[in-house]
Amino acid sequence: MIECSKGSKEQRVGVARAAVELMSKLEHTHSCKELLLRFFDDDDIDVRGQAQDVFRNEEILQRDDIVQLAEAFVNTRAFDDGTHVLFLMLDSFRGILKPYATVFLKSSEKYSTQLAEDSRNAATHNFGNARDLMKLMLRLYQQLQGLQDRDLQHKCLDAWDNMIRSRIGGRLGVLREIDD
């Protein structure tokens, strides 16, 4: 598998697919995580896309190693591509979102700065991702009220403010949805 992970595009896609499948088995987590981190920054968008499918498995979203993988994912080319499913899957995730707070805050910062132009363009994936992020951050904020975590609540509000100031993710549409 190691040789193929450095091989042709098709081989790398195959290894990424296998690593995604094996992440559900704890005994393979470490080696698969290393491969996926490398594939998140692969030169080929198809390899990057296949690697991020690891987040499609809702059953593993509550694992600490997946939270750490998501934190690292934010700083990769795969995240910048904007085609990721992480926020989509977390939207349907019914667990506590607090472990993902760092992911949300880092993502918010990235959408407000480095990816701001792309995040304002409704024709891009990042526009929808930023919009999904704003909804997730609101859900996290609401969950934090019950947990009495005011510091993190303030960080969420600050991140929201930065995204609104940067005109990210169709902010008015999200605000209207909240108002309803």
pLDDT digit string (tens) for 112-144? 998 888 877 778 777 788 888 988 999 999 999
- 148 found inside a domain: yes
Domain assignment present for 145: yes
Q: Tell me, yes or no, whether 170 lies in a domain.
A: yes
pLDDT at 3: 85
- 175 found inside a domain: yes
In a domain, 141, yes or no: yes
d(CA 66, CA 145): 25
Whether 178 shows a pLDDT value over 90: the answer reads no
- What percent of the chain stands above pLDDT 90? 61
Q: What is the mean pLDDT of residues 11-34?
A: 94
* Mean pLDDT computed over 80-102: 90
In a domain, 134, yes or no: yes
* Any domain includes 100: yes
Residue 115 belongs to what domain range?
A: 96-180
**Model confidence, pTM:** 0.89
In a domain, 87, yes or no: no
Q: Provide the domain count of the chain.
A: 1
Residues 29, 23 contacting (CB under 8 angstroms): yes
Q: Are 26 and 60 in contact (CB under 8 A)?
A: no
Confidence grade of residue 147 (pLDDT, cut at 50, 70, 90):
confident
